[in-house]
C-alpha cells in the first residue's frame, strides 16, 4: 500500500508546462495565427526583449540576434488567468495557444528569464551588464572597431534576451507575476507530436480538430483544451474520458 507521503507528492493533475498564446496580427485573428503556426511547425520570433532592446531599435543586425519567442511557465489549469482582462495589465490573450513540456523547451534552446533589480543600492548585478551593453553601442558606432557586425557578434548579446530589469524608481514590472517567463532566441521549431495540448475556446474545437486531422493524417494528434475549463475537465480531455466527473467547468 502506498504511503501518505507518496500520494501527496505524486502529482496527478496537469503539473507545469511552458505555454505560448497567440495574438491577433495584421494577417488575421489569433486562430489564424495558431493555424499558421501548426502548419509551419514553427513559432516565429517577432519581438525583441531584454537589456539590448534600445540597441536593437537602432541596428537591424543586432535586432536579428534579439528576436525571441516567449513562453510562460504555468500549470495548464492556471492558463485562464493569462486570458483574463485584469486592471493594469497591458497584455491579454484570446485563448489560442500551445503548451510544451519544460524538458522539450529546454532541449530546443528555451531558457528562463532573469529579473534583475535596478533599484539604487540593489543594482550591483545590473550595472555591470549595462556597462557591457554600452560597450557594444560604442563598438557599433566605430568602424575601426568593426562597427555593427562586430557589435552584433558580442558575447553579451547572447545573454541579454534573457534579462529584464525591474524595480524602482522607474516602476517596471512583469505582466504575469505568478509564473516564470521563458524565451527562445529565433524561431521555435517543433513537431505536432511534441505538443502537450493545443489551447482554443471550446466553440472552435471542431474547426481545429479538422485542421489537425488534415495536417496529421497519421499518428497521435494533440488534445484540444479550453483555457477556461477547470482542472477536472482538462484531465478528462487529456485522458479521453467522456464524463469529466462532478465538476465539469
What is the bridge-based pairing of β-strands 114-117 and 197-199? unpaired
* Predicted pLDDT at 10: 47
Residue 173 scores a pLDDT above 80: no
pTM reported for the whole predicted model: 0.84
Query: Which residue has cell 524538458?
Result: 103
Query: Which residue has cell 478528462?
Result: 236
- Euclidean distance between CA atoms 212 and 68, whole angstroms: 26
Residues 100, 194 contacting (CB under 8 angstroms): yes
- What letter does residue 95 receive in the DSSP assignment? S
- Euclidean distance between CA atoms 65 and 51, whole angstroms: 13
| pLDDT grade for 93, boundaries at 50, 70 and 90 | confident
**Average confidence (pLDDT) over 75-93:** 81
Percent of the chain with pLDDT over 70: 84
Amino acid at each position: 500500500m502506498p504511503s501518505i507521503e507518496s500520494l501527496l507528492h505524486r502529482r496527478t493533475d496537469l503539473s507545469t508546462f511552458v505555454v505560448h498564446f497567440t495574438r491577433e496580427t495584421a494577417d488575421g485573428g489569433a486562430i489564424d495565427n495558431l493555424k499558421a503556426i501548426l502548419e509551419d511547425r514553427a513559432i516565429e520570433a517577432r519581438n525583441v526583449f531584454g537589456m539590448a532592446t534600445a540597441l536593437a531599435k537602432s541596428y537591424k543586425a543586432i535586432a536579428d540576434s534579439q528576436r525571441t519567442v516567449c513562453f510562460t511557465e504555468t500549470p495548464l489549469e492556471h492558463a485562464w488567468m493569462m486570458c483574463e482582462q485584469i486592471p493594469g495589465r497591458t497584455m491579454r490573450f484570446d485563448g489560442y495557444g500551445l503548451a510544451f513540456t519544460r524538458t522539450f523547451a529546454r532541449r530546443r534552446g528555451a531558457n528562463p528569464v532573469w529579473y534583475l533589480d535596478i533599484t539604487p543600492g540593489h543594482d550591483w548585478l545590473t550595472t555591470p551588464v549595462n556597462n557591457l551593453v554600452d560597450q557594444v553601442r560604442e563598438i557599433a558606432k566605430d568602424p575601426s572597431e568593426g562597427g555593427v557586425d562586430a557589435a552584433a557578434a558580442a558575447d553579451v548579446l547572447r545573454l541579454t534576451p534573457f534579462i529584464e530589469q525591474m524595480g524602482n524608481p522607474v516602476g517596471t514590472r512583469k505582466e504575469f507575476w505568478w509564473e516564470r517567463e521563458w524565451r527562445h532566441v529565433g524561431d521555435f521549431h517543433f513537431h505536432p507530436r511534441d505538443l502537450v495540448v493545443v489551447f482554443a475556446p471550446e466553440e472552435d474545437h471542431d474547426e481545429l480538430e479538422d485542421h489537425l486531422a488534415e495536417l496529421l493524417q497519421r499518428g497521435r494528434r494533440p488534445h484540444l483544451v479550453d483555457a477556461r475549463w477547470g482542472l477536472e475537465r482538462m484531465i478528462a480531455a487529456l485522458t479521453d474520458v467522456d464524463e469529466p466527473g462532478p465538476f465539469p467547468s
